[in-house]
Every structure is written in structure tokens, then in C-alpha cells.
Amino acid sequence: METDIPNSDLVKIILAATFVTDISTALALSIIFIKPDLYTILFIMISIAVIALAAKYSKHIKHIFGHDKLKNKVIESEIKYVFVLLVVFMYFAVLGNGQTVLPAFVLGLLMSKELAKVKEATTRLRTVAYAVITPIFFIVDGLNVSFSLVLAFLGLFVILFAIKFISKFIWVYFLANKYIPNGSMYNTLLMSTGLTFGTIASVFGLNAGYIDQVQYSVLIGVVVASAVISTFIDQKWFLPRHREDIMK
């Protein structure tokens, strides 16, 4: 989005594809591994209620936060509004052993059209998310990684890295080569990362006791390495510069 690629449709396609895979990952984690109880049902009910109400009244966002008493004020009322909704999701997700990202994704999807009308709010939300929340997320998760364990199990690291990278590369490349031939390698490498949800899945496994510290360290190492290497190669040698580099 920030590399001035002259085709907004490509950005939308990539975001839609990542949304499908990410939401599928969250659903799979929830269905396969979570042991439901009454709090899980409560989490689902609260999430549905919050999403329904927020989606219903989101059409008023522009008028509410665009009011002279709230517009461009340091209190950042629109950001606080979004944070309140996220806190509700997080609180009940912890109670019900659920995945906060699942309702958060759906909420963002339903509110995106209306939030886009308040461009200042969207820009500030992105700034807060990428400058503060995202770095804190990776710092906290990185504190649980032991680099010495990764080196000790370097063979396993290499095997898992090869499986993850090659399998994603092959599947994405053939589809990208068919439908986006002039940008196939760029899209393939970009879609071969999976940093955020790979980390979320690993953290989930560690907290739930399905994997130990060694497995967690190796998995996080694989996820980070695949993301960094793919992105570096992509940005260095395959970044589309012109419209004809992207679509036929």
C-alpha cells in the first residue's frame, strides 16, 4: 500500500486473500483446539452482539466524529471508540479461551467502508497500530524465544523452513502465474510470509500447552525468517514499478 504501486485493485486482491487465509487459521485454531464451555458461548454471543451493533451504527461514524466538538481533537475519540470494542473482544476472549482476532477481523470488514470516509481517523488508527501496537506484540512474543534453542535445533529449523516456504511458494506461484502473470513472483513471495498469524498460532500453542519452549522458539524462528527473507527479495528484485508490471 505504501510503495506507490499504481494499481489499487492489486492491493485489494492481496488483502482479500490474506483475510481469507487468516480468518481460516483463526477458525481452525478455535474449532480444533479450544475446549468450549459456558464462557466460550458467552464470548461468541458478546462478539456477535458487538459486531451487529457496531455495523448497524457505523453509518453514523462520520457525523459523530466529524462534529466540530470532536473533529481533530487530541482526545482522539474515534480511536478510543475502536479500542473500547477491541477491549471487549479481548476480555471475553480470555474468559472463553477464544481468538480475539476472529471477531476483530469481521468487525474491521464491516466497518471499513464507513471508517474510510473519516480519512483522518483511518490514518491515525494505522499510525497507532503500526507504530505502537504491532511492535509491542512482536517484542512481547519475542521475549519467549530462545536463540540458543534455535541454534541447538538448527536441523529442525531448516526442515520446517523448507516445508513452509516451498509449500506456500508452489501453491501461490501457479495461481499467480495464471491470473497475474506479470506480477506472479512479486505476489508469490509476498504471500509466502505469514508473519502475524504464524506468530499468533505459535503463541496460542505455547499458552495452551500444545508445544514447549523448544518448539515455540523454532517455529517463531521459521516464521520470522520466511517473512524477512521473502520480503527482502521481493522488495529488492521483484517490486512492480509500473502498471504493466502488474496486470495484463
Same domain, 177 and 221: yes
Q: What is the pLDDT along the chain (248 residues), one digit of tens a residue?
A: 666 665 667 777 777 878 788 788 878 877 887 778 899 899 999 999 999 988 887 766 665 555 566 566 666 777 788 888 899 999 998 888 777 888 888 888 888 777 777 777 777 888 888 888 888 888 888 888 888 989 999 999 999 999 988 988 888 888 888 887 777 888 888 888 888 888 888 888 888 888 999 999 999 999 999 988 988 888 888 876 655 444 44
What is the gyration radius of the CA atoms in the chain, in angstroms?
20
Same domain, 160 and 106: no
SS3 category, 248 = coil
Same domain, 123 and 154: no
Would you state the pLDDT for residue 215?
93
Domain boundary among 99, 116, 136: 136
Let me know if residue 46 belongs to a domain: yes
Domain boundary among 78, 107, 136: 136
* Cβ atoms within 10 Å, residue 164: 19
Give how many domains the chain has, as a whole number. Answer: 2
Number of separate helices (H) and strands (E) present in the chain: 12, 0
Would you state the pLDDT for residue 1?
66
Would you state the pLDDT for residue 156?
93
Let me know if residue 57 belongs to a domain: yes
Same domain, 94 and 39: yes
Q: Which long-range contacts (CB under 8 A, 24 or more apart) does 84-91 make?
A: 85/50, 85/54, 88/46, 88/50, 89/47, 89/50
Same domain, 107 and 187: no
Q: How far apart are CA 244 and CA 248, in angstroms?
A: 7
CA angle, 58 then 60 then 62, to 5°: 100
Q: How far apart are CA 15 and CA 9, in angstroms?
A: 10
Same domain, 156 and 211: yes
Residue 49 has, within 13 A of its CA and on its CB side, a CA count of 9
Let me know if residue 13 belongs to a domain: no
Helix or strand run (H / E) with residue 26: helix 8-33
Let me know if residue 93 belongs to a domain: yes
Same domain, 106 and 185: no
Torsions phi, psi for 204 (to 5 deg): -60, -45
Would you state the pLDDT for residue 248?
46
Would you state the pLDDT for residue 71?
62
Let me know if residue 75 belongs to a domain: yes
Domain coverage including residue 195: 144-248
